[in-house]
Amino acid sequence: MSAEDSLRLLTDYEYFEMEPGPDLDDEAVRLWRNQIDYAYFAANLGWDYGQYGSCTPVQLLFIRKEIENRTVRESNLLKDAVQVAVANCLGKRKSSLWKRRSRVRVDPAMPIAEIEAIQEQLARAAPWTPWQGGGAEVG
């Protein structure tokens, strides 16, 4: 069976039908299943035909089972992560994060009166900058 025949069988009648047609003999069915199996390993693992052909049917079954286990593990990890995220967003602890707390007022290192005095001095005689054109005299 050629690749064109396999493609025709795959796309005829039902889209992505994974069973060979009833008009095929046993050899054509075996080749059909072999090509489907190769497509599975090529798509999931990026294998070429040489790598696929070097494995025995038992090895291919174990590899397929390991791919299935990996998919289940990844799905469970994603499910658990989503559950944790939803619990974090909708949980009771969330409301306590945004409550205002009374703050203890800390005395600044520089008193406010000194800051006001510095601001007044800068307003009277600003330091020289090229765009202001003057201010404090250097000299």
pLDDT one-digit tens code per residue, 33-60:
888 888 888 887 888 888 888 888 888 8
pLDDT band, very low/low/confident/very high, at 82 (cuts 50, 70, 90): very high
> Which of 108, 115, 110, 131 is CA-nearest to residue 123?
115
d(CA 44, CA 65): 12
Q: What is the DSSP string of the chain?
A: --HHHHHHHHHSSSTT--S--TT--HHHHHHHHHHHHHHHHHHHH---HHHHHTS-HHHHHHHHHHHHHHHHHHHHHHHHHHHHHHHHHHSTHHHHHT---PPPPPPPSS-HHHHHHHHHHHHHSPPP-TTTT-SSPP-
Q: What percent of the chain has pLDDT over 90?
A: 9
Q: Is the pLDDT of residue 91 over 80?
A: no
Q: What pLDDT score was predicted for residue 74? A: 93
Whether residue 41 contacts residue 60, with contact meaning beta carbons closer than 8 Å, is answered with yes
Q: What percent of the chain has pLDDT over 70?
A: 68
Average pLDDT over residues 74-103: 80
